[in-house]
Homo-oligomer: A and B are copies of this chain.
Amino acid sequence: LNVPKIKDVKIHSDFWSRYISLVGNVVVPYQWEILNDKIEGVEKSSAIRNFKIAAGLEQGDFYGMVFQDSDVYKWLEAASYVLEANYNEDLDRKVNEVIDLIEKAQWEDGYINTYFTIKEPQNRWTNLQECHELYCAGHLIEAAVAYYLATGNDRLLNIARKFADHINNVFGPDEGKLKGYPGHQEIELALIKLYEVTKDERYLNLARYFIEERGKEPYYFDIEWEKRGRTEHWPGLIRNFGREYAQTHLPVRKQKEAVGHAVRATYMYSAMADIARITKDEELLETCKALFKDIVTRKMYITGGIGASAHGESFSFEYDLPNDRAYAETCASVGLIFFAHRMFLVDHNSYYYDVIEQILYNNIIGSMSLDGRSYFYVNPLEVIPKACEKRWDTQHVKVPRQRWFGCACCPPNVARLLSSIGKYIYAYSENELYVNLYISNEYEVDIGENKVKIILNSDYPFGDNVLLRINVKNPLAFDLKLRIPKWCVEYKVFVNGKEENNYKKEKEYVVINKTWKNNDEIFLNLITLPKRVKSHPRVKDNIGKVAIMKGPILFCLEEVDNGPNLHELFISKDSRLEIKFEEQILNGLYVVYADGYRIDEEDFGKELYREDYEYKLLPVKLKFIPYYAWANRGKNEMRVWINEI
């Protein structure tokens, strides 16, 4: 299956255009200012300055995390997507300024990393476990591929290839090469992108090498540690997290449970899925399926967040999904979308897109404030601001969103995802077109040799209507594959105004095989209703509680609408869930009203414990807003899972 080019998908969804233009008009420019240290009162970045110093253009010391370069690369990647969708000279000029710096910071042999160039040039490649050189290289390669695909300009691509060639000379199975692999996976999926653009198989092979070498004995990270005299970049931290942290506890094919750092994990699984697809490696595909299933059926919050433990930003054990202490790092959700998308490309199942939708509409867009200027790194499902201040075990939860972070991986990761969202809407081959996300857009694609234009208008998931118009020069036969999201309670398909019942259903796709004529119109009626959702009984914090969803949209209660102490509220089992659009709230939101109760504190009195007492319940109207819109009205309580009575 092929993935659309971003430039070929013109999104005109009211809902998504707002986010995309926010990325183009606010997020990318704002992050540019931050990378250049021009915003007061936020965490200093120094990321561009580090490049200037490494390039010999400025004097000074390196500042920031050892992986600070990756902020620049992720920005470049997002900027490239913005350029691809909507070229603008000013942004391209900024991108080229950065490319100039990267070029100048590149060593003769191809190596690039500002931390090592400035601080420890003699120690290149001596601490793969902790120092993120290959991780940063991966983000450079992703940015280079993105910029090349966006503009056709191969300047950055050549820089990246030269670095990749250097890495290929340093690492690999051949005698004299290092037998290492990254401490933070990322370069594997990047090398595959580089392979797909250049068709140079060395990059694919190097990616496979990094994947297959991982978890073997003797343990490379001990070998390099001994070799460098047992020094640590982060003393007592990364090495102490143990081998599961970076998924080096087993050879990857033996890994059947998702463990350790959730971003490292999903980036690696993404590369594994790519390799399984490209090399038709069935065993590796089965491994990927097992890992995906483990995440989605045992370790994923209903928001699409993953990584339940702040300790090592990692997966916790099965069904351990506390709401208040969730880590659910934004980047990990981005990583899970990468993984799910690649699984779809090899397995063609709607199931993967159910997960993508769930993540996208909740954890991803919820991580950003509605003005695009502040972000969550950690995405909890229950917040009591006082607990975040006072309790050590919820101090990683920062409310409301922050403007920037010392470790600023998440905001640019969201930017690069949202600016490339068009890629996720469709997939196609010689004789088929998958429609996966019902985001209004116009798309031009070659099916076989023939140009096809799709005009998609949809109000899904808030409404039920999807209208597709097909423009072709000459009638053309292909399979139109329409995804039926799992939350549809009912659906109908109409072709040119007539209900169509003569279709196959494959892996939750309606497959319409037809010779399409110009202006053929397909109407898809996808009915989703507000629903109570329960979680698996093993999830101990959710017993007796429900969450409200409509389609992929998760709702939550906020203090500003429902008063404080949200845990004292109950939703009535027999209440209707009334959804309506309210214009006056945050520029317009769909909200859900339900009947419920609030415990009468007065009636309980002042003692801490009472015998033989029933709480007195006072009827209240509960008001839920979409989770993605929470924490946009000041610091206040929020709750996804609500008691049911």
* Chain A contact residues, CB within 8 Å of chain B: 296-298, 300, 302, 309-312, 316-317, 320, 325, 384, 386-387, 390-393, 487, 531-540, 543-544, 547, 549, 565, 567-568, 599, 601, 604, 606-615, 643
Contacts and interface: CB of A to CB of B under 8 A. Distances in A.
A533 B384 CA distance: 25
B536 A608 contact: yes
A384 B392 CA distance: 20
A469 to B, nearest CB: 32
A296 B537 contact: no
B537 A608 contact: no
How many copies of this chain? 2
28 contacts: A296-B608, A297-B606, A298-B608, A300-B608, A310-B393, A312-B392, A316-B391, A317-B387, A317-B390, A320-B387, A325-B393, A384-B540, A393-B393, A531-B611, A531-B612, A532-B611, A533-B609, A534-B613, A534-B615, A535-B610, A536-B604, A537-B599, A537-B604, A537-B615, A538-B601, A543-B567, A543-B599, A543-B643
A535 B605 CA distance: 11
A578 B539 CA distance: 30
The 10 closest A-B pairs by CB, nearest first: A311-B392, A540-B567, A393-B393, A537-B599, A531-B611, A544-B544, A317-B390, A534-B613, A537-B568, A297-B608
Given A533-B609, A537-B565, A609-B535, A320 B390 contact: yes
A386 B316 CA distance: 10
A610 to B, nearest CB: 6
Nearest to A487: B611
A462 B375 CA distance: 57
Given A317-B387, A531-B612, A536-B607, 14 more contacts: A302-B608, A309-B390, A310-B392, A316-B391, A320-B390, A384-B540, A532-B612, A533-B611, A535-B608, A535-B610, A537-B604, A538-B601, A540-B565, A543-B643
A314 to B, nearest CB: 9
A609 B641 CA distance: 12
**Which among A300, A309, A310, A534 has the highest number of chain B CB atoms within 10 Å?**
A534
A612 B549 CA distance: 11
Nearest to A534: B613
B316 A390 contact: yes
Contacts of A568: 537-538, 543
B309 A392 contact: yes
A440 B295 CA distance: 58
A576 to B, nearest CB: 13
A5 to B, nearest CB: 34
Nearest to A302: B609
A386 B318 CA distance: 10
A565 B318 CA distance: 13
Contacts of A610: 533-535
A28 to B, nearest CB: 34
